[in-house]
Amino acid sequence: RAALEIELERYQRSPLYESLNLPKIRISSRTPLDVLESQLGLLRELERKLNEQVATPEEARRANGELRRMMRERGNYFPEYEAEAQKVLKAVGYAGGPLSQHLISDIATHLGFTLHHVGDLPHSTRSVTDLKNRRIYLTHNQRSDHDPRSVLLQALGHYVLGHGTPRSYGDFLAQRVATNYFAAALLLPEHTTVEFLQQAKARKEISVEDLRDAFAVSYETAAHRFTNLATQHLGITTHFQKTHQSGIIYKAYENDGVNFPMDHTGAIEGQPACKAWTSRAVFDVPDKFSSYSQYTDTINGTFWCTARTERSSSGEFSLSVGVPYQHVKWFRGRETTARATSRCPDPACCRRPPADLSEHWAGSAWPSARAHSHLLAAMPPGAFPGVDETEVYTFLEAHSAT
């Protein structure tokens, strides 16, 4: 009994109990034993549930891995999102080509929203939607790393796809994938994009750069959209990765058997890409205007990849799209003579230092590592991870009267 009393007292002094705003139980010798056991049981279970909900780095990586497995099984193609995008485009009279700013405004109006550009958007957000007054707030800042058209269309996507408050970090990730897909399906509509790609395939001239230019989108958006449609409509398996100049993979997708590095949870993000891969080699190419293509012989076969680099506020990244050797005949850049060999995950490939260097420097070097905090830190708590809800509500309160 004494141990139960001490444990309950400890719980009642904890930040967890304080956050519940509940009255404290006065513990005495007359407190029934079953009351002590019941209260402790409730508090233990509450603590366990809260610990489950915190998106630790491992949980975040596991959720990402599960989502990627589902995307791979579907060939990264989601007909339900394509159908919703097609309905919207038909309603505003889209006739082909790049989606104009005028049509995007018409989409917002068609869905019953007004657009408001402000200078005080909460720093933890890209947009804020006021569902009560049907307003979407966007930033005035033109220096954002994100295409303002995509940001707006993603915000509208939450409404069109009927999203509710995320129940878990996995749910949050799934919603983000859905809205990103929906926005891309508006910017590069399925019918016209597939027609464009099929014509390029017939000429054996498929190029992500051409797709980018034809629909006036970013290279990354064009690359993602290619992965949506390549397997379903062209019969081509493929892979995509976004890699930081440090070699760390930030984003990845594959359904072609390429051997991305991954941890025990199946997560690829945060892992170093092989130094022989196109996504790493492109950083050393002097020509930054053109894309760089390379064949890479791996333990899973030979792959052809094309990549280019882009700068952002977070540094320089490479964006790479690749296919197995049997599909390279459809792509521009297949004539490249650049070729490399990757033996990863064998540590001797590029992770283990050469024997002569190790012999000379082992025990005499002490580097101070740069932490990739975005990949290691636990996600902030709350329904929308990483978003300061107090800041958002204060913002909406200030703007609701204007």
DSSP 121: -
CB within 8 Å of 314: residues ≥ 6 apart: 145, 244
Phi, psi of 44 (to 5 degrees): -60, -45
Q: What is the spatial distance between Cα 17 and Cα 336, in angstroms, rounded to a whole number?
A: 64
Strands 339-341, 292-298: parallel, antiparallel or unpaired by DSSP?
Answer: parallel
Q: Are 331 and 304 in contact (CB under 8 A)?
A: yes
Q: Are 215 and 187 in contact (CB under 8 A)?
A: yes
Given strand 301-312, what is the order of strands in its sheet?
249-254, 239-244, 315-324, 301-312, 292-298, 339-341
Max distance between CA atoms of the chain, in angstroms, equals: 87
Q: What is the spatial distance between Cα 96 and Cα 215, in angstroms, rounded to a whole number?
A: 9
* Every domain of the chain and the residues it spans: 2-52
Q: What is the spatial distance between Cα 64 and Cα 265, in angstroms, rounded to a whole number?
A: 9
Write down the pLDDT at residue 27: 81
Beta bridge partners of 339: 295
Q: Are 214 and 224 in contact (CB under 8 A)?
A: no
Listed in order, strand segments (DSSP E) in 85-202 are 114-118, 127-130, 135-139
- CA trace torsion 148, 152, 154, 159 (10° rounding): 170
Q: What is the spatial distance between Cα 363 and Cα 138, in angstroms, rounded to a whole number?
A: 53
Q: Are 278 and 292 in contact (CB under 8 A)?
A: yes
For tokens 């979407």, the residue is 136
Three-class SS of residue 125?
coil
CB within 8 Å of 85: residues ≥ 6 apart: 182, 185, 186, 189, 190
Say what the pTM is. Answer: 0.81
How far, in Å, are 114, 127, 335 from residue 134 at the CA level? 7, 13, 52
Q: Are 104 and 91 in contact (CB under 8 A)?
A: no
Write down the pLDDT at residue 52: 60
CB within 8 Å of 394: residues ≥ 6 apart: none
Tell me the two tokens of residue 201.
């395939």
Buried b / exposed e along 229-247 (16+ C-beta atoms within 10 A): bbbbbbebbbbbbbbbeeb
Phi, psi of 182 (to 5 degrees): -60, -45
SS (H, E, C) 228-243: HHHHHHHCCCCEEEEE
How far, in Å, are 186, 279, 359 from residue 86 at the CA level? 8, 34, 62
Q: Are 391 and 380 in contact (CB under 8 A)?
A: no
DSSP 400: H
Ordered per-residue pLDDT tens for the chain, 402 residues: 788 888 888 888 887 777 677 788 888 888 888 888 888 888 888 877 766 655 566 777 788 888 999 999 999 999 999 999 999 999 999 999 999 999 999 999 999 999 998 888 888 888 999 989 999 999 887 655 678 899 999 999 999 999 988 888 888 899 999 999 999 999 999 999 999 999 999 999 999 999 999 999 999 999 999 999 999 999 999 999 999 998 999 999 999 999 999 876 777 888 889 999 999 999 999 988 889 999 999 999 999 999 999 988 888 999 999 999 999 999 999 999 999 999 998 888 888 888 887 787 777 766 665 555 555 444 445 555 556 666 676 767 777 766
